[in-house]
Structure formats: structure tokens, C-alpha cells
Amino acid sequence: MRGSAQWDGGDQVVAFCERVGAELRRRATELTAEWAQRTTERLGIDTEPFLDPAEPWIVRGMASYLSFGAAGPTSTLQLADRARRLGEIAADQGVLPGQILDAYLLLNALIWRIVDEVVRDTGSELAPQALLPCLHRLLDLLFVMVRSTTGAYFDRYQAQIRKDADRLRGFNRMVSHELKGPIGAIQGAATLLGEDAILRDEEKRRHYQEIVLRNTARMADMINDLLALTMVDRPGGASPPEPVGLDAAMETVRERVDDDARAYDVEVVIDVPAVKLAVDRRALELVLTNLVRNGIRYSDSSKEERWVRITARPEEGDTWTVTVEDNGVGIPAEVGSRIFERFYRASPDLPGSGLGLAIVKELVERWGGRVWYESREGVGSSFHFTAPAAEA
């Protein structure tokens, strides 16, 4: 607080500030609802995560600050702490700094409207020297809140930049390491294919050609998954996703995995309802594609019937659990949670980049869900993930 905002000016200042505070407190829910509505309409911000009319803490805090002079510093600290939390939530939701400032300007206009109404009701009883200190206190308080919110926002933003930079350096090291293997194999096989002895031996020539084809396929998988990761790693936007039908997403997934299913002689069984989910369409399709393709590639060739089944069931709290189950080779018990690590491959001899399940985990957690699996070697695996249902 600045020094000029001291609680001075006599009884008339106290009385006027208390009248403004009482009016703010009386209309706190109404003002917060109007603030949220205007912010959504003018700025396109989803205010639900941080502006709840049922808990109008900002307006009530300002009312308490005006009404209780002795408690002013305590009220300021409480409001500043809550305003910092607002800034952290805004950063997580992808709200822009300018939008935060514009939202406070909208609140400022609503507060001044209340002050103007109190001034008109008071009329000639109010001396000018009683008005200015109260207005000054309101300006000081708004300044503290804006500073706290934007300060927390930029703290969170800078922390995310540092985290992303560290993550990118580590990721680049992993990519370089993973690419060295197939590139070295291709170089070695290509060199040997140029030797006369290999060219005259059809069996050896075919062997080295298979090495080249197998490793180029692995690199192609890796490149496709790296492109998918650009979607995983990009910052989330503030706008909620358009609802996507789970059944419609599965039809797209079926087309994507059709070639793999035929190659491995695996039947893909889709048994999901026409439920709408509040997640990004591309993210949902990518999660399902990776899980289904994973079940196909880890099928058990010794079994006469091989299948991957996709089902879904509702849970409490407007959430759905989607399950991708297979009767494949299963996952060794010692693998544990490492199966969701980037570039980890439980069976190096099978195709894949080691990125598919890592992409699944990061996408599911990005929309607020969770993913887990159950497996028995020789029996099969079941992967489950949760997703929020869209409002009807």
C-alpha cells in the first residue's frame, strides 16, 4: 500500500467507505456474475475456472477492505494471495496477459458504477474530501490485485519456459541417441550390399535388405510420432474443445489401423456408445490410434483368434472410462510404469518408436484424465483412460 492511502479524513470518510463496502457486499454475487459474463463476451475467456459467482471473493474482499479500516492490511494480504492464485490459473488456462488487464478494467467499471450510485444517494451530505480518500483506497487495492495476478502469471510462465527448455534439451539428446541405432544399421547394411560377395549371395543380400527396410520403417514410425508430439507439447488454448463423438472418432481410428490389422490378422472390435466427450478431436483420435495399434502389433501369433476390443463405460462425475483390450502377448511385470516413458520399448524386436504410449499418457493428462493398464503375460493387456463427458 502507498502512504497516501492511510485511513484518515474523519468520520465522514469512514461512513462513506462503509456505505460503499456495504453495497459491494450486498451485491457481490450479482457483480461477480456480471463481471464474468462481460469478460466472456468481450474477451472470449472461459471464466469458470477462476470467477465463480457462488464464491465472489474478490468483491467481498474489496468490501471488507473498505468497511474495516483497521483490518485493511490483513484484507490486502488476503486479496493479494487469492489474486496470485487467479494469475496461476489464468496461466494454466492459456489466458493472455492483456486479457487479464482488460478483465480488471471491466471490474473497475462495475465498481465505479457502485460508487457513483452511493454518491448520488448520499447527495449534498457528502463533502468532497470524504470521497477522494475512499476512491484512492479502491485504486490502491485494484493496483495490488493487478500486480499480484500478473506477477503470478509471469512467474508461472517463466517457470514453464525454463521447464520446456530443459525438456527440449533432454528430448533432443534422446532423439539423437535413438536415431543413431537405425541409421548405423542402415549404413552398415548398405555398405555390405555393395560388396561383390554379398551381391552374389541371394540369401545374404536379402538379409541385409531386410535390415535396411526394418530400420527405415522404424525411423518412419519415429518421425510420425515426433510430429504427433508437436501437438502434445504445444501450449493449450483458452477456448474449450468442440465436443467429439467417441463412436465417430473410432471410425477414423479403424481406417488408420486397417492395414496393420490385416497384416497381423487381428480383428478390431468396436463396442462404444455415441457419447460426446469434451476433449480435442485430434488428441482423442491419436490416443485411440496408438492404443489400438499397440494392441495389434503386440498380438500373439500362436493364438488362432487375435483381437483388439474397444469399450467405454460411464463413471461418476460426468466422466467416461475407455478401455482398449487385447489378447496379445502381454507385458512383463517388471516393466511397470516405464512403459509410458518416451522411447522405452518393452520388446525391442517388435516395430515401433517407443513414443506411442508416452504420447497417450501426455495427451490424456493434458485434458485432465488419467491412464493405466492391466496385463498378464500370455493372456493379454487392457489399457484404460478417462475423459470428461461433454455437456448435453
Q: Please report the pLDDT score of residue 226 as a whole number.
A: 67
From the number of C-beta atoms within 10 Å of its C-beta (0-12, 13-18, 19+), residue 350 rates as exposed
Residues 148 and 257 in one domain: no
**Domain harbouring 321, CATH code:** 3.30.565.10
Residue 325 has phi, psi (to 5 degrees) of: -115, 145
One digit per residue, pLDDT tens: the chain, 392 residues? 333 334 444 677 778 888 888 888 888 889 888 988 888 888 777 777 667 777 788 888 888 877 765 455 666 777 888 888 888 888 877 788 888 888 888 888 888 888 888 888 876 566 666 677 777 878 888 888 888 888 888 888 888 788 777 766 766 666 676 677 778 888 888 888 888 877 788 888 888 888 888 778 767 766 766 666 665 555 444 455 788 899 999 998 998 888 889 989 999 999 999 899 999 888 898 899 889 988 998 899 899 999 999 999 999 878 999 999 999 988 887 777 777 776 656 665 555 556 778 888 888 988 889 999 999 888 999 999 999 998 75
**Are 89 and 155 in contact, with CB atoms under 8 Å apart?**
no
Are 244 and 284 spatial neighbours (Cβ–Cβ below 8 Å)? yes
- Predicted pLDDT at 191: 86
Give residue 174's identity as a one-letter amino acid code.
Answer: M
Are 116 and 244 found together in one domain?
A: no
Q: Which domain holds residue 89?
A: 3-162
- Confidence at residue 384, expressed as pLDDT on a 0 to 100 scale: 96
* Residue after which a domain boundary falls, among 162, 180, 200: 162
Q: Is 309 part of a structural domain of the chain?
A: yes
User: Do 338 and 327 meet the contact criterion of CB atoms below 8 Å apart?
Assistant: no
Q: How far apart, in whole angstroms, are the C-alpha atoms of residue 302 and residue 212?
A: 27
Residue 378's region, left for phi above 0, alpha for psi from -120 to 50, else beta, is: left
pLDDT at residue 6 in the model: 42
Under DSSP, the state recorded for 195 is S
Q: Is the residue at 19 inside a domain?
A: yes
pLDDT of residue 312: 95
Residues 146 and 270 placed together within one structural domain of the fold: no
Going by the DSSP 8-state scheme, the letter that residue 212 receives in this structure is H
Q: Are residues 154 and 286 in the same domain?
A: no
What pLDDT was estimated at residue 307? 95
Same domain as 251, residue 152: no
Rounded Cα–Cα distance for residues 83 and 144 (Å): 9
28-43 vs 11-26: helix crossing angle, rounded to 10: 70
DSSP at 329: S
Domain count, the chain: 2
- Of the three residues 162, 184, 207, the one that is the final residue of a domain is 162
What is the CATH classification number for the domain harbouring 153? 1.10.490
| CB 17 within 8 Å of CB 8 | no
134 and 248 in a single domain? The answer is: no
DSSP-derived letter for residue 343 is: T
Of 162, 196, 217, the last residue of a domain is 162
> What kind and span of H or E run contains 267?
strand 267-271
What is each CA distance from 211 to 242, 347, 352, in whole angstroms? 44, 17, 15
CB-neighbour burial class of residue 269 (10 A; exposed 0-12, middle 13-18, buried 19+): exposed
Query: For residue 237, what are the contacts with CB-CB under 8 A and spacing of at least 6?
Result: 94
